[in-house]
């Protein structure tokens, strides 16, 4: 059980300038989103992310947060991968949206978190009606993992693209994974360049792709 | 001087020397696989055998990358053979040595020094369509590095396959979390 009182309401990662930028974006939200954060309170990265989430939740009445430890998450949130902590997942109307972040969304990945919230809560980025319909018609589960580095501009772009797709389709789960935090995965997948996107454990993509390109890959490699 | 990036190799036909044999090589032979054109001033010089020997030492690794190497000088293919007969370093070369006595290739790639009838040290990496994807040109006395050329070839192949929107993963274990920056919000 997480003692929320031990999580600071203010994150050292959010400066006054950043808070001001966040206020501008979060002020546009039209729906509510809950950031569900699974952490190990003994680990630095977990506490950094927990504080960042708590700080952000305090910036908008459309945002809320809940915290779980690993054992609780494994029992109560089977839809999340609680083996890679910290993980922060976006929930809407108590349902997991398929948008999640393994690691701390520092550096360029702050963009991914903000875009994820914006696309989940609404109004969301514009998307063509044609591709939107295609995504909504998907019948098979799609697992997208984007391995990133926090300093990589292209990585954030790729995470945003994949998570936008997840926000449009209940079948798509798109997760950001900070490869630096999970060396066993970096070794397993021989990650030397990023962003590296793995779709359904079958297709490995390098660099940024458009939603249309990602859709073609998804069609090609059904789970 | 003309920028050579993405320039398509033009028609040519030259005679060449390779592993004791003479053969003809045209622009079509450079297609369907990656190629390196490696110009050097002249046979029977000092820097050249060092460079060509260095390249010969890495030749297997270039082959593993699906790349063929063509050295080029303004000598004839007969002179290449005479040099191979006279030099152990040149004898071990497995790649094709093009003879370009009329300067057709050196002119096409902008490395011909007409008053000397020699080529500057130009290296050109061509993709399987025969387009220049990377090149360097050194003045006569400045040698090149085959290991660096192999790195460039691999980078060119990677970009051709995956596009250029990729970063090297240079994180270190235990690194501090980077301060967040919201530079993409302009997209909203």
| Domain boundary assignment for chain B | 21-162
For residue A194, the cross-strand partners are: B167
Distance from CA of A140 to the nearest CA of B (A): 27
Q: Which residues of A touch B181 (CB under 8 A)?
A: 18, 107-108, 110-111
Find all residues with CB under 8 Å of A110, minimum gap 6, and list them: A18, B180, B181, B182
Q: Which residues of A touch B173 (CB under 8 A)?
A: 180, 183
Q: In this complex, is the C-beta atom of B3 within 8 Å of any C-beta atom belonging to chain A?
A: no
Least confident of A166-170, A218-222, B122-126, B183-187: B183-187
Residue in A110, A186, A191 closest to B180 by CB: A110
Q: What is the pLDDT of residues A92-114, one digit of tens each?
A: 999 999 999 999 999 999 999 99
Strand order of the β-sheet with A33-38 is A63-68, A33-38, A87-92, A95-102, A172-178, A142-148, A196-199, A203-206
Answer yes or no: is pLDDT of B109 > 70. Answer: yes
The interface predicted TM-score of the complex, written ipTM, equals 0.81
Kindly report whether the peptide bond that precedes residue B91 is cis, defined as omega within 30 degrees of 0: no
Q: Does A192 or A194 have the greater pLDDT score?
A: A194
Compute the average pLDDT of residues A118-141.
96
Q: What is the pLDDT of residues A34-61, one digit of tens each?
A: 999 999 999 999 999 999 999 999 999 9
Question: Domain range for residue A81?
Answer: 4-220
For B21-162, CATH number? 3.40.30.10
Task: Report the C-alpha gap between A58 and A7 in whole angstroms.
Answer: 13
Q: What is the pLDDT of residues B33-66, one digit of tens each?
A: 999 999 999 999 877 688 999 999 999 999 999 9
Compute the average pLDDT of residues B76-80.
97
Residues above pLDDT 90, as percent of chain B: 77
Based on the structure, what is the number of domains in chain A?
Answer: 1
B48 is annotated as an active-site residue: yes
A to B CB pairs, distance under 8 Å:
105
Domain of A42, CATH number, reads 3.40.30.80
- The whole-chain average pLDDT of chain A stands at 96
Query: Residue B166: which pLDDT band, with cuts at 50, 70 and 90?
Result: confident
Distance from CA of A38 to the nearest CA of B (A): 18
pLDDT of residue B188: 77
Q: What is the pLDDT of residues B137-154, one digit of tens each?
A: 999 888 899 999 999 999
Q: What is the pLDDT of residues A151-173, one digit of tens each?
A: 998 999 999 999 999 999 999 99
Q: Which residues of A touch B155 (CB under 8 A)?
A: none
Q: Do strands B67-73 and B96-99 pair parallel, antiparallel, or not at all (unpaired)?
A: parallel
pLDDT of residue B57: 95
Q: In this complex, is the C-beta atom of B174 within 8 Å of any C-beta atom belonging to chain A?
A: no
Answer yes or no: is pLDDT of B1 > 80. Answer: no
For residue A145, the cross-strand partners are: A175, A198
pLDDT of residue B173: 65
Residue in the structure block whose two tokens are 């387009």:
B131
Distance from CA of A208 to the nearest CA of B (A): 6
User: Are the Cβ atoms of A192 and B169 closer than 8 angstroms?
Assistant: yes
Residue B148: Cβ within 10 Å count: 11
Compute the average pLDDT of residues A118-146.
96
């Amino acid at each position: 059980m997480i003692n929320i009182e031990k999580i600071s309401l203010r994150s050292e990662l959010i400066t006054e300038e950043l808070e001001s930028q966040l206020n501008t974006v979060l002020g546009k939200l039209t729906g509510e989103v809950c950031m569900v954060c699974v952490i190990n309170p003994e680990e630095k990265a977990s506490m950094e992310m927990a504080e960042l989430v708590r700080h952000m939740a305090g910036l908008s009445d459309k945002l809320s947060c809940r915290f779980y430890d690993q054992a609780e998450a494994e029992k109560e949130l089977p839809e999340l991968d609680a083996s890679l902590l910290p993980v922060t997942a976006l929930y809407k109307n108590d349902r997991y949206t398929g948008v999640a972040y393994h690691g701390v969304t520092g550096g360029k990945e702050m963009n991914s978190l903000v875009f994820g919230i914006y696309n989940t809560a609404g109004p969301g980025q514009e998307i063509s009606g044609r591709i939107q319909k295609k995504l909504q018609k998907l019948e098979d589960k799609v697992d997208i993992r984007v391995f990133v580095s926090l300093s990589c501009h292209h990585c954030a772009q790729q995470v945003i693209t994949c998570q936008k797709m997840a926000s449009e389709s209940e079948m798509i789960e798109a997760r950001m994974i900070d490869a630096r935090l999970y060396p066993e995965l970096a070794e397993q997948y021989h990650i030397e360049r990023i962003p590296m996107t793995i779709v359904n454990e079958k297709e490995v993509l390098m660099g940024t792709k458009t939603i249309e390109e990602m859709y073609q890959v998804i069609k090609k490699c059904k789970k | 001087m003309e920028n050579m990036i993405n320039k398509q190799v033009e028609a040519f036909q030259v005679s060449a020397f390779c592993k004791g044999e003479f053969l003809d090589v045209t622009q079509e032979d450079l297609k369907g696989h990656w190629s390196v054109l490696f110009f050097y001033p002249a046979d029977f010089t000092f820097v050249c055998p060092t460079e060509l020997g260095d390249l010969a030492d890495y030749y297997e690794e270039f082959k593993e990358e699906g790349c063929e190497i063509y050295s080029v000088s303004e000598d004839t293919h007969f002179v290449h053979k005479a040099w191979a007969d006279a030099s152990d370093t040149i004898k071990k070369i497995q790649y094709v040595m093009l003879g370009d006595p009329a300067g057709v290739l050196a002119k096409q790639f902008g490395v011909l020094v007409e008053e000397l009838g020699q080529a500057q040290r130009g290296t050109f990496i061509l993709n399987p369509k025969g387009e220049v994807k990377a090149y360097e040109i050194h003045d006569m006395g400045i040698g090149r590095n085959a290991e660096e050329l192999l790195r460039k070839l691999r980078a060119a192949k990677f970009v051709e396959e995956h596009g250029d929107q990729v970063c090297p993963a240079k994180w270190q274990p235990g690194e501090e979390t980077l301060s967040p920056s919201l530079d993409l919000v302009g997209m909203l």
